[in-house]
Amino acid sequence: MKSEHVQSLVIGAGPAGLMAASGLLRAGRQVVLVEAKPSVARKFLMAGKSGLNLTKDEAPDLFATHFHGSCAPLLHRAVADFGPDAVARWAKELGQPVFTGSSGRVFPESMKASPLLRAWMQGLASVDLRTRWRWVALEGDEWRFETPQGPRGLDAETVILALGGASWPRLGSDAAWVPILSARGVDITPFAPANAGLSVDWTEHMRKHFGTPVKAARLTAGDMSLRGEFVISSRGLEGSAIYSVSRPVREGADLFLDLCPDLTEDEVARRLARPRGKASLTNHLRKTLRLDPARIALLMEFGGADRNALASRVKSLPVAHQGLRPIGEAISSAGGISAEALEGFRLRAIPNTFAAGEMLDWEAPTGGYLITGCLATGRAAGRQALSSVFPV
């Protein structure tokens, strides 16, 4: 099989890969963009089904603190150069004006990912896009692919890898690249779920609360404490607040719920000490603390019926769970190519090869941080490839 020579090869057509390809194309480079799936940016489109949260309107220093993992310093530099304001301008330049919600989250006015993606792809019309090309091996300098036309090989002057992490494998992020790079000496931190729900083996009485949102609660895990919303599901606890504490929970921290975040423990105790009469405990909790049925159910489920410790349990209820949901169900993943394997975004072990996006060992919460991180690292990897391989 004779290899085809290309100037710039980008493997993976998610946000990071598309951003890298955009930069290379603007610099006048020939770009071959390879994607294993039949179409591009499938995870990006899925993320936009309930409203595409592009970024967060936040001060750069604060924004950067939300990135963790060995590659966090790389992310800090990338988002300092291409952060929330730059992402908003980029969307507007594609004809997709944005607005900022009450929480600071930034969305396209259309709320959908598809109009932005269509405009983005129009600007990439001169890219040689090859779908259904799955990268399967690297032998010497030859990048080998399985394609509808059979095995193909490419050799490239520069390569940017943007193959995603290990969450949502049905959309393409299946981490199938890990053994290939590991065999070439690339150090990779094992993948783990991030922004994931919690597994809980509920007792039967919780069944009637499945699908119920819990809106008034504070969650604390390790040094992280936040007020937010989550949902009681048949599998456990899910939703943005649970996702936000998934990192410390994954690292071994216990999770506690404050079911009355607007009251002190002394005030809770004082209210609970009111005469109950013939009222059941459930009605007493409802009347004195204004707890809704879902919060009362959680209190009873996790051992809050001990009357001697009821006030402290209301304010700090330990959640008994079986760990995070599997990585295939997680919104994103932690782990990936470690910082030790990189010089900037360049792989030390493979000449003229760079990596971006969720392949790298970093994680961030939902709320615009993930997409901004992918866009910023894709842009930065493309710029480093241009400066080091194609000096101007």
Please report the pLDDT score of residue 390 as a whole number.
46
User: Would you state the pLDDT for residue 307?
Assistant: 65
Cβ neighbours, 10 Å, residue 98: 20
* 9-64 pLDDT tens trace: 999 999 999 999 999 999 999 999 999 999 999 999 998 888 999 999 999 899 99
Alpha-carbon separation of residue 251 from 167, 182, 325 (angstroms): 18, 25, 14
User: Can you give the pLDDT at residue 137?
Assistant: 98
In angstroms, how far is CA 247 from the centroid of its own chain?
11
Please provide the DSSP assignment of 256-322 as one string.
EEES-TTS-HHHHHHHHTS--TT--HHHHHHHHH---HHHHHHHHHTTTT-GGGHHHHHHSEEPP--
pLDDT (tens digit per residue) in 189-248 = 999 999 999 999 999 999 999 999 999 899 999 999 999 999 999 999 999 999 999 999
Q: If you average pLDDT over residues 65-74, what whole number do you get?
A: 97
Q: Are 9 and 29 in contact (CB under 8 A)?
A: no
SS3 string, 31-54, reads EEEEECCCCCCHHHHHHCCCCCCC
Strand order in the sheet with 98-100: 55-56, 105-108, 98-100
Quote the CA–CA distance of 129 and 47 in Å, as a whole number: 22
Are residues 357 and 364 in contact, defined by beta-carbon separation less than 8 angstroms?
no
pLDDT digits (tens, 9 = 90+) for 367-386: 999 999 999 999 999 999 99
Residue 48 to residue 274: CA distance in whole angstroms: 49
- Which token pair is 24? 């290379």
In three-state secondary structure terms, 359 is helix
Strands (E), the chain: 4-11, 31-35, 55-56, 98-100, 105-108, 128-131, 134-139, 142-147, 150-161, 188-194, 198-199, 212-221, 224-233, 236-238, 255-258, 317-318, 332-337, 342-343, 346-347, 353-355
Q: What is the pLDDT of residues 272-330, one digit of tens each?
A: 999 988 889 999 999 999 999 999 999 999 986 666 789 999 999 999 999 999 999 99
Q: How confident is the model at residue 216, as a pLDDT?
A: 84
Q: Between the CA atoms of 59, 63, 64 and 69, what dihedral angle is there, to the nearest 10 degrees?
A: 170
Q: Assess whether pLDDT exceeds 50 at residue 391.
A: no
Beta-carbon neighbour count of residue 201 at 10 Å? 10
Q: At 119, which amino acid appears?
A: A
> SS3 string of 306-319?
CHHHHHHHHHCEEC
Residue 389 has pLDDT above 80, yes or no: no
Structural domains in the chain, sorted by start: 4-192+334-389 (3.50.50.60), 198-318 (no CATH)
Do residues 223 and 68 make contact, with C-beta atoms less than 8 angstroms apart?
no
CA distances from 1 to 56, 129, 151, 174, 250 (A): 48, 21, 8, 27, 46
Show the tokens assigned to 352. 């003229």
CB-based contacts of 246: which residues, under 8 Å, 6+ apart?
193, 194, 195, 196, 198, 324, 330
The letter for the amino acid at 123 is G
Q: How confident is the model at residue 1 (pLDDT cuts 50, 70, 90)?
A: low
Each residue of 109-147: pLDDT tens digit?
999 999 999 999 999 999 999 999 999 999 999 999 999
CA–CA separation, 41 and 262 (whole Å): 42
* Single pTM value for the model: 0.94
Quick one: tokens of 30? 């020939």
pLDDT given at position 305: 60
